[in-house]
Amino acid sequence: MIIIAPILIGIVYVTLMSFIREPHRRRFNAIMVAGAGAAYLSGGGFGAWEFAFTTLITYCAYRGLDSWTFIGIAWLLHTAWDVLHHLKGNPIIPFAEPSSLGCAICDPVIALWCLLGGRSVTDYARERLRRGSAGRLAKPS
């Protein structure tokens, strides 16, 4: 469950985000990753480095207002920060020891979706169905 639950959380996140129309979806996700970047500020264990990391994520989130790529990069940076916290810092949820590990597993799912353009899952499924139907209709029997 330590691995499967975070992956499912990432998939649920992506699915729920599909209900937000563009360009609002991209902007909302830029705000979400900025918030995630600040998650460790209240006692993450790395002192001033927490502020430096938050500054970096905030820059990526700002650029992410117009670019899915920057949002994906920010989620990957957050993944690395989660791994560091799991190994040497404090967990993201103080009373849940493996929470940083779970976050490090969930974040790349979201990052991949962002790096692929943050497309709506329903739009993607509809397009795949259309392509599949068109391919079958075009083939001679």
As a whole-number percent, the residues of the chain with pLDDT over 70 amount to: 94
Please state the φ and ψ torsions of residue 106, each to the nearest 5 degrees.
Answer: -70, -45
Give pLDDT, residue 47.
93
Q: Which two tokens stand for residue 105?
A: 């597993």
pLDDT category of residue 79 using cuts at 50, 70 and 90: very high
Mean predicted confidence (pLDDT) in 54-67: 98
What would you measure as the largest C-alpha separation in the chain, in angstroms?
Answer: 68
What angle (nearest 5°) sits at the alpha carbon of residue 57, between those of residues 54 and 58?
A: 80
Domain ranges of the chain: 39-121
Residue with tokens 């779970």: 102
59 pLDDT above the threshold of 70:
yes
- Per residue in 66-76, pLDDT (tens digit) is 999 999 999 99
88 pLDDT above the threshold of 90:
yes
Long-range contacts of 3-10 (CB under 8 A, 24+ apart): 3/105, 5/102, 6/102, 6/103, 6/105, 6/106, 6/109, 7/105, 7/106, 7/109, 9/102, 9/106, 10/105, 10/106, 10/107, 10/108, 10/109, 10/110, 10/113
Mean predicted confidence (pLDDT) in 7-28: 97
Residue with tokens 């590990």: 101
